[in-house]
Amino acid sequence: MYQVCPSILAADFNRLGEQIHTLEEAGIKMLHIDVMDGFFVPSISFGMPVIESIRKESGLFFDCHLMVTAPERYIEEFVRCGADSITVHAEACEDLESVMKQIRAAGVKVGVSIKPSTPVSAVAHLLKDMDLLLIMTVEPGFGGQKYIESSTDKIREARAIVEKEGLKTNIQVDGGINDATIETVLRAGANLLVMGSGVFRGDLVENVEKYNKRIQEITE
Ligand code: DX5
Ligand code: ZN
């Protein structure tokens, strides 16, 4: 139920395949893949060819976070390249519900993300149709930023709705998750923790072990 989801945005792209293999050996199940279009967010990261290429070598669950305007243009193609879940931004879709249906019809898990300024109430009515709600805990666009404190209440609010309605929706957090913030987000109710610098800075295996241990200690 609780998982560290390493974000390959922070990987050493010169050794991407090797690092993904190392994570797999360390017991990671879910890989977070940040796709940026230079329009929804200021930066451009990578897209289909990279996903298609790493898919050939990895059996991990590919959790694709699309920071892309009008993502409905690309859903089927990301699935073809190897996505196992597709997360779209509520702010990037004119008709979010129809994009969610499109993702479901394409045969993968459905994720919805909200930026720090978007309230949980904007998507609460759709929680039952999501496999994951991604609460951005920094402004999307760049790795290595500082956790935005007001995110904690949003995590609590989303977790409360999930519990109250008896849903299975995962609550994922992304941005600034590290030694200093992991306990806060777990206690607030997050269960999928995206980590870029937290995992890729330093020794990957040691970092994964450290965070898995922290999760166990905090949630037992
Ligand atoms: C930010 C991305 C994140 C980012 C997290 O737009 O969605 O996944 O890589 O990086 P850290 O963990 O370094 O804040
Ligand atoms: Zn992300």
The string of pLDDT tens digits covering residues 35-78 is: 999 999 999 999 999 999 999 999 999 999 999 999 999 999 99
**C-alpha pair distances (Å), 80 with each of 107, 167, 171:** 10, 29, 26
CB-based pocket (< 6 A), ligand 1:
7, 9-10, 32, 34, 65, 138, 140-145, 174-177, 194-198
Share of the chain above pLDDT 90, in %: 100
Which ligand 1 atom is the nearest neighbour of the CA of 36? Answer: 6
The C-alpha atoms of residue 41 and residue 50 are separated, in whole angstroms, by: 19
The pLDDT of residue 35 is: 98
The string of pLDDT tens digits covering residues 123-145 is: 999 999 999 999 999 999 999 99
State the distance from the centre of ligand 2 to the C-alpha of 54, rounded, in angstroms.
17
State the distance from the centre of ligand 1 to the C-alpha of 142, rounded, in angstroms.
6
Sorted by where each starts, the structural domains of the chain and their CATH numbers stand as 3-219 (3.20.20.70)
The string of pLDDT tens digits covering residues 78-102 is: 999 999 999 999 999 999 999 999 9
The string of pLDDT tens digits covering residues 161-173 is: 999 999 999 999 9
| Burial (0-12, 13-18, 19+ Cβ within 10 Å), 23 | buried
Give the ligand whose atoms come closest to the C-alpha of residue 200.
Answer: 1
Q: Residues 167-191: what's their mean pLDDT? A: 98
Which ligand 1 atom is the nearest neighbour of the CA of 136? Answer: 7
Catalytic residues: 34, 174
The pLDDT of residue 22 is: 98
